[in-house]
Amino acid sequence: MVFQYTPTEFLNLPPFQGNKEIVRNYDSFERMVHFLELSPFITFDTETSGTAWYRHASICGVSFSGILDNAFKCFYIPFRHKTGETQLSFSRCASGLKKLLENDRLKIAHNFKFDEHMFRKEGISINGPRYDTMIAAHIYNENVSAALKNRAVLDLNIKDAQLYEQAVDIKLKELAKLNNMKITEYKYQFGYSHLPIDLCGIYACYDVDFTTQLYWFYERNHISTDYSRVFNTEMDLLGVLCDMEENGMPIDTDYLFDLKSKLQIVKSQVEENLFHNMRIRNFNIASDDELRNFLLNDLSLPLTKQTKKFQLSVDSDVLKTFSSYHSALSLISKWKEADKLANTYTDSIVRCMDSKNLVHCDFQQIGTIASRLSCRNPNLQNQPTDDDDRAIEYSGVDLEHNGIDPWSIRRAYIVRDKSWPRIYWDYSQIELRILAYYSQDPVMVQAYLNGEDIHSRTSLEVFGNKDKAFRRLAKVINFGLSYGMTEYHFAAAANITVEEAREFLNKFFERYHGVKLFRENLWEYIRNNGGYFTNIFGRPRRIPNINSYNIKDRSRAERQSIATHIQGSAGELTKESLVRIHKAIMSEGLQGLVFPVCTIHDEVQYDCCVDVLPKFCKIVKTVMEDYEEFKPIPIIVDSEYTLTNWSEKRGLKLAA
DNA sequence: GCGACAAGCTTG
DNA sequence: GTACGAGCTTGTCGCT
């Protein structure tokens, strides 16, 4: 490894203020511990050798800040910089670090969950109330990035807050180049561990400085009190997600590798068919440019659908539309389907694993503007569902009758142990129930009180008929309600004219007048309230475009407000339930017998020791359904389980 | 060779 | 004028 470091790099940066110190020996470390021990809060940040805490990445240094006698100080302790510089031993400092982090005082961090993972890896737990300034930033304004330096500029008005980060970035690019690595690869492998201590130390000190100042700023703006319900849920959820990510999801790697080669063979066969048997000119099917060229020039298809940038679209919808024109089109569809699965859902999942075949996703509490969770590395929230048509073609029966999808991805998501079933609880039609609550529409409320099939009821109300075809249309409308549906989309989805669509929707809003009023009243309220509103949990959302003079922008803002209100409430419900379940696990003594493993918007997944299964199931169902605030609408969860894998989950019935 | 963007696909 | 919210992948294009 090659290193280069010239102190002159700092010449153009702001001076290293007197309240910041790089801790270079054990005496200084003890003085720091003594100072921070008496601070009413402790702000911390870890610098690491990468972000993959579940693999090689570990702490190379820690920064702290706190106050004593009105003095605000920041410290950086270097432990494992691979620069040859003298530094402190982590194990020798561990008891001092524990003294600071395991006490009951307030802990503050920006992106708390990451640092908590890093400390847990070192055997240090973090106690006391948590305050994550990144989450507070998102509550303060969900429409701009919550990155630390970005908020130091925007919210604290520190104009040069980005300078040290820029200096670090320049250094990292230099180091990557010296080591002949791409910057992304370098950052993954080494993180900040090769940064000279002076540079990393001043950078890290400013990070805890900004973080503490953001804490003061958001508290001056009453974030944790004005939004106490969502704020407290988020702070509790942070620890639950930490557990969930640490537990990880076991993967059947052999299955995925087999599936990948099976899909590659299918792709080769399709290519052979197209370019050899059918004598079609060879082209790259994955290139939309080349595919468009083929459809237009070789097959002379009259393409009309356009992309956002006014190109002719060649998506799966177009291929399906023209499939009767030429037999090549269905083959191309099949190739694209196999290609998608092979590239996105087989070995790319395996690449995210640790040494024990577990994937540890990153659940993002600030990943969405509507306050749902997002998930990445890998994203477990968009794993393909098994396909009925493929199941019938392969096994002769559909999925409901235990047919098998030969290209199933979910089959790879296996249980941890045969005596530890995985349980899935999902809220039944939660968004429509929430709409029924907000609108108090009498027809909808009554349908839920009666336990009716809501799509059939809509079908009957709008079309005067609840046969299969009409129920399907009703379902399109019902789902569309959560998105602020347009008549154009309904027309396209139902394959009817825009006039017919408008007529049906008018009929719908006539029958469900409460829903119509709810939408209009919500828009009017937001308009008169400067684009700001909150949902039943007190979650804020700002949509300034609701007052735009541009009809397109305003209509979009109206759709967004409906969607945020409904989806956001459902998301909040699931998050609050995750916290409630965690608290119940603690109070019922189920620690170690139950593990959270995943959550997908309106669903939670736990691994549960079979011995405590009935008890745990009863607890979960009770706490998930116990939301009095939605009265009279009943909140219902469905339970499923598997003893093998995700693909084979089945309805769960327990004796009363 | 890299970053940014567009398109397309997968979920709830 | 063909919905709401996400994440991931490939191809393309312009820049260094």
Can you give A168-216 as a three-state secondary structure string?
HHHHHHHHHHHCCCCHHHHHHHHCCCCCCHHHHHHHHHHHHHHHHHHHH
- Return d(Cα A487, Cα A473) in angstroms, integer: 13
Provide the token pair at A236.
């509790």
User: What kind and span of H or E run contains A540?
Assistant: strand A540-542
Nearest to A236 by CA among A584, A534, A565: A584
* Angle made by CA atoms A107, A145, A65, in degrees to the nearest 5: 25
What is the distance in angstroms measured between the alpha-carbon CA of A182 and the sugar C1' of C14? 20
For residue A555, give both structure tokens: 């209509």
Instruction: Tell me which DSSP letter residue A221 carries.
Output: T
Cβ-contact A407, A391 below 8 angstroms: no
Q: What confidence score (pLDDT) does residue A10 get?
A: 40
Q: What is the pLDDT of residue A3?
A: 28
Q: Which residues touch strand C (CB under 7 A)?
A: A 284, 286-290, 343-344, 348, 364, 367-370, 372, 374-379, 381-382, 476, 479-480, 482-486, 488-490, 492-493, 552, 555-556, 559-560, 563-564, 567
Ranges of chain A with pLDDT below 70: 1-17, 655-656
What six digits make up the tokens of A191? 């993180």
Q: Which nucleotides of C are covered by protein (CB under 7 A)?
A: 1-13
pTM of full prediction above 0.85: yes
Give the bridge partners for A425, in sequence order: A604, A639
Nucleotide nearest to A431 (CA to C1'): B12
Positive or negative, the CA dihedral A170, A176, A180, A183 is: negative
How far lies A503's CA from each of A178, A462, A466, A506, A539, in Å? 67, 10, 18, 5, 35
Cα A612 from chain centroid (whole Å): 30
A602 C-beta less than 7 Å away from strand B: yes
Distance, CA of A619 to C1' of C3, in Å: 37
Q: Answer yes or no: is A559 CB < 7 A from strand B.
A: no
Residue A2 CA distance to nucleotide B2 C1' (Å): 23
Cβ atoms of A142 and A369 closer than 8 Å = yes
Name the residue with the least CA to C1' distance from nucleotide C8. A344
Q: CA at A27, C1' at C7: how many angstroms apart?
A: 48
* Bases along strand B below 7 A from a protein CB: 1-3, 6-12
Q: Which nucleotide is nearest to A570 (CA to C1')?
A: B12
Nucleotide closest to A372 measured between CA and C1': C5
Are residues A423 and A605 in contact, defined by beta-carbon separation less than 8 angstroms?
yes
Tell me the residue type at A92.
R
Enter the tokens of residue A120. Answer: 């847990």
Residue–nucleotide distance: A408 CA to B12 C1' (Å): 19
Cα A309 from chain centroid (whole Å): 28
Sheet strands (E) in A97-187:
106-109, 130-132
Interatomic separation, CA of residue A212 and C1' of nucleotide C14, rounded (Å): 41
What's the pLDDT score for residue A468?
92
- Residue where the block lists tokens 């009259």: A302
Structure tokens at A385: 């569902």
Is the distance from CB of A562 to CB of A484 less than 8 angstroms? Answer: yes
CB A598 within 8 A of CB A244: yes
Question: Minimal CA–CA distance to A414: which of A254, A617, A262, A263?
Answer: A254
- Residue A40 CA and nucleotide B12 C1' are separated, in Å, by 42
Q: Nearest nucleotide to A381 by CA–C1' distance?
A: B11
Residues 34-93 of A with CB under 7 A from strand B: none
- CA atom of A159 to C1′ atom of B3, Å: 25
Beta partners for A284?
A: none
Considering only CA atoms, give the Rg of chain A.
Answer: 28
Distance of CA A106 to the CA centre of its chain: 27
Report pLDDT for A310.
Answer: 92
pLDDT at residue A48, rounded to an integer: 97
**Is the shortest CB-to-strand distance from A384 to strand B under 7 Å?**
yes
Cα A119 to Cα A125: distance, rounded to the nearest angstrom: 7
Q: Distance between CA A242 and CA A578 in Å, rounded?
A: 12
CA atoms within 13 A on the CB side of A432: 23
Peptide bond into A421 cis (omega under 30): no
Phi, psi (5° rounding) for residue A194?
-100, 5
The reply to whether the CB atom of residue A287 sits less than 7 A from any atom in nucleic acid chain B is no
Q: How far apart are CA A365 and CA A346, in angstroms?
A: 26
Q: How far apart are CA A14 and CA A159, in angstroms?
A: 11
A311 touches strand B (CB under 7 A): yes
List C-alpha distances in Å: A116 to A104, A328, A365.
15, 53, 15
Closest CA to A579 of A305, A80, A229, A270: A229
Reduced 3-state DSSP string for A235-293: HHHHHHHHHHHHHCEEECHHHHHHHHHHHHHHHHHHHHHHHHHCCCCCCCCCCHHHHHH
What angle, rounded to 10 degrees, do the helices at A197-220 and A163-178 form? 150
CA A344 to C1' C6, whole Å? 16
Decide: A97 and A32 in contact? Cβ < 8 Å. no
Q: Which of A482, A490, A476 is nearest to A370 (CA)?
A: A482
Beta-carbon contacts of A30 under 8 Å, excluding residues fewer than 6 positions away, are: A96
Per DSSP, the three-state class of A317 is helix
Q: Taking each helix axis as running N to C, give the angle between helix A551-587 and helix A430-439, from 0 to 180 degrees, rounded to the nearest 10.
A: 110
